[in-house]
Each structure stands twice: as C-alpha cells, then as structure tokens.
Amino acid sequence: MKMIVAIVSRDDSLKVARGLTKENFSVTRLATTGGFLMAGNTTLLIGTDDEKVPAAIEIIRTHSQARKEMLSSTVSNGVGMFSSTPVEVIVGGATVFVLNIEQFEKL
Ligand code: 2BA
C-alpha cells in the first residue's frame, strides 16, 4: 500500500480529485499554503495499492499539467491613470510524493 501526497494548485484541485474518484481512487483534499509564495494550494492524500500508483499519477498529470496563461496586470502610469498589460505566467503543475504505508485499517 502507498500514500500519494500530491500538491496541486487550487484551480486544478477539483478536476484532479474528480478525475481520481471517477477511477475509484479515494481522495482527501486539504487546503494548504505554500511556504515560499505563501499562496493557497491544495494537498491531496490518496491511499492506494502499489500497482495503481502509476495510474493515479497519470490522472494527476492530466488534470494539473503546467501551462502558460496570460494574466492582465494593472500598472499606474504615475498620473493616476492605469493601464492593463498582459503578463505570461506559468500555472498548474504538481509536486508528488509516494510514501510506503506500513499498516492500513478502517475501524
Ligand atoms: P513548485 O516547486 O512547483 O512547488 C509548488 C508547491 O508545492 C510549493 O509552494 C509547496 O507548497 C509544495 N512543495 C514543493 N516542493 C516541496 C517539497 N520538497 N516539500 C514540501 N512541499 C513542497 P511554494 O512553497 O509556495 O512554492 C511555489 C514555487 O516557488 C515553487 O513551485 C518553486 O517554483 C518556487 N520555490 C519554492 N521554494 C523556493 C525557494 N526556496 N527558492 C526559489 N524558488 C522557490
């Protein structure tokens, strides 16, 4: 038995969790905060059999792949006027740990 700990962006977490539950994985979603950016992200806990780990990781990859998006950033021109400049940012991606589980009980 393994425990997959997957840290994904908040925007992707619902899609990832739905993709996993659709394939009969059990998932717990935790609201977490990245230590570097101090921004909210989501940590998913997925307990599963060893042989199902690659399938779970593939589902996580499918729904959280890093991609470029254009965000509009508003900047002041110094005289009280603001202009909006699109900025390219990378969003998504996942950090995944796979841990060995010594014992699993449902009581
Ligand atoms: P990622 O490496 O994709 O990490 C995204 C989030 O995953 C992290 O959010 C953190 O919550 C978690 N995470 C990643 N690696 C981890 C690990 N080894 N152990 C536990 N949790 C882990 P943040 O900490 O807010 O980091 C956001 C992004 O900032 C990171 O993206 C990375 O590109 C950058 N970053 C993080 N720490 C950095 C540092 N010390 N110096 C420079 N850049 C850093």
Q: Ligand 1 test: best mutation among 10, 11, 13, 37, most atoms within 8 Å of CB?
A: 37
* Cα 42 off chain centre by: 6
22-50 pLDDT tens trace: 999 999 999 999 999 888 999 999 999 99
33 lines ligand 1 (CB under 6 A): no
Which residues are CB-neighbours of 93 under 8 A, at least 6 positions away?
A: 8, 9, 64, 65, 66
pTM to 2 decimals? 0.87
Cα of 95 from ligand 1 centre, angstroms: 8
Cross-strand pairs, 87: 71
Angle between helices 53-64 and 10-22 in degrees, nearest 10: 140
80 lines ligand 1 (CB under 6 A): no
The band of 73, judged by pLDDT with boundaries at 50, 70 and 90, is low
Cα of 35 from ligand 1 centre, angstroms: 7
